[in-house]
Structures are given as C-alpha cells and as structure tokens.
Amino acid sequence: MGIGRIYPEEPLSLYIKEIYHASFTNEDRIPVLDDCCHDLVIFREADARLYCAEFTEGIEINHHIFSISNISPPFSIEFPKSLNFITVKFQPWCNNLFFGGKWKPGINDVSQHFKPIFKTNDASEFFQMDDPFEVMQLKLKDYIKTFNLSGKQRLLKQIIELIYQQSGQLKVNDLEKRFELSRQYLNKLFKEEVQYSIKHFIGMVRVMNAVKIQLHNPKISMTKLAYDVGYYDQAHFVRDFQKVAGMSPKKFFNLNGAFFKRHKIN
C-alpha cells in the first residue's frame, strides 16, 4: 500500500482541498466516508465495484475518470487484485460550481466534463509520471482560470472554514449569530452550493474528526472518543455516526480503513 497527498496553495486552494495518490494490493473491501466534498477520481485499472445503500450488490466502476453522486451510505470499494488511483478533492463550497446540474445516482463518467485536464480518456499519463502532483496542479491551475467564486460561495467559504476550525463542535444557532443569517437561509445556501444540509455537514465534520482520532489511537474507548469530539451522550454520537457512515462506529472501526491512512501522513 502506498499513499501520497498534497494540499495546494493559493490560488488553487480556493477551489481544491486536497490531491492524493494511492495504490492498494490484495486488500479486503474498503469502507469509504462521504466528506461532502465532490471528487474527481482517476482510476488506472477501471476494474472495481462500488457498494452503497442503493446498490447493495455493487455496481461496476468501469470508467477511468469519474465522480460519484446521489447515493447513500454505507459505501465501500472492492477490487480484484490492485487499485491505483488519483483523487482531486474539491472544496465543499465549490461543489455546485464544478459539479452543478443533474447527475445519475452512482458512477458518472466526467472525462468530457474535465476534458481540458486530460490528454486521453484513461488519463494513463498521470500514472507514468515521477511526480503526478506537480503536473496535476499545473493542469488544474489552468483549468480554474475560467471559474470565479460568487459572493455566496465566498460567504460559504467563511462559514465552512469556521466549522472546520471548530471540528464541527458548534450548532447552527452559533452560525446564525456569528454571520447574522437565518437558519432557513443558511440551510438553503448549503443545499444549493454544497448540495447537503448544513446539519448533515456539521455532523460529517465531527464524524470525520472522530475517524482521524481513532486512526491515531486505535484503542480509544467509544465513550472517550465521543467525549473528545464534543458529545456528552455516547448514544447521540452513535446516531450521528450512523447517519454519516451507514453503520455504528464500532462496526466501522473493525473494517479495513485503508482509505483513511492518508490522514496519518504529516
């Protein structure tokens, strides 16, 4: 297993949260969490299956360049022998900017959508490079020149950055007061631009924080973990985790967490 990751600098970081490159061999089915950031995914093999609530028997991932949309947890990926891929993770306030419009539930071929970035439909050139990150960043910088954040998206950026800073340990009421906006407007803004409700987004940030803590401390108790991410009631923590992951935290942490190993990289 090999994982590499970079966080772009400005101006690219206004649009792109993270780029990572991973390769797995002979792994069990790998669970995936939806972090509310839309991804541009590039598979070298294009030979895997995605499992989710809507497709319990799995659907084939037979595209090299794709994104995943409109499905519900639990999510997992299964592949026969090896999996080598690059993921471009967009900032959540850019979901509608880059992925607006109607997408079918499941796997969507986005090779034409992002055609300026790729020479071929299988993007094979990226897997032959010594440093695919450098080339990908250059291509993305050129690609985003035609995009600009709207006033709403810039406001949303401020709100989301605060949610990240607080690790999701705040309430919608706190954001109402801080930004002098109504709950209805905040939720409308999130659903339009992030394509998730504000409550779900906050819950996701707390759950992702719990996953990162457990990754660095696998023996932590569920009671301590719940407390560390701001819950005084373990049952409430389990309910929120279930909404995001589609399963209890205990079950999730007993599965193969290969996709999350990148969070151990400094």
Whether residue 155 is found in the same domain as residue 137: no
Contacts 24+ apart (CB under 8 A), 63-66: 63/107, 63/109, 63/111, 64/111, 64/121, 64/122, 64/123, 64/124, 65/40, 65/41, 65/109, 65/110, 65/111, 65/114, 65/118, 65/121, 65/122, 65/123, 66/41, 66/107, 66/108, 66/109, 66/110, 66/111
Whether residue 142 is found in the same domain as residue 155: no
pTM of the model: 0.93
Whether residue 135 is found in the same domain as residue 157: no
Q: What is the pLDDT of residue 196?
A: 97
Whether residue 57 is found in the same domain as residue 163: no
Whether residue 26 is found in the same domain as residue 120: yes
Whether residue 6 is found in the same domain as residue 59: yes
Whether residue 34 is found in the same domain as residue 118: yes
| Domain that includes residue 57, residue range | 2-146
Whether residue 128 is found in the same domain as residue 156: no
Whether residue 9 is found in the same domain as residue 133: yes
Domain endpoint, select from 123, 146, 169? 146
**In the chain, which residues have pLDDT < 70?**
1, 122, 256-266
User: pLDDT tens digits for 216-233?
Assistant: 999 999 999 999 999 999
Whether residue 142 is found in the same domain as residue 24: yes
Whether residue 162 is found in the same domain as residue 134: no
CATH of the domain at 82: 2.60.120.10
Whether residue 91 is found in the same domain as residue 21: yes
Q: How many domains does the chain contain in total? A: 2
Q: What is the pLDDT of residue 265?
A: 46
Q: What is the pLDDT of residue 131?
A: 87
CATH of the domain at 164: 1.10.10.60
Q: What is the pLDDT of residue 19?
A: 96
Q: What is the pLDDT of residue 258?
A: 65
Q: What is the pLDDT of residue 125?
A: 86
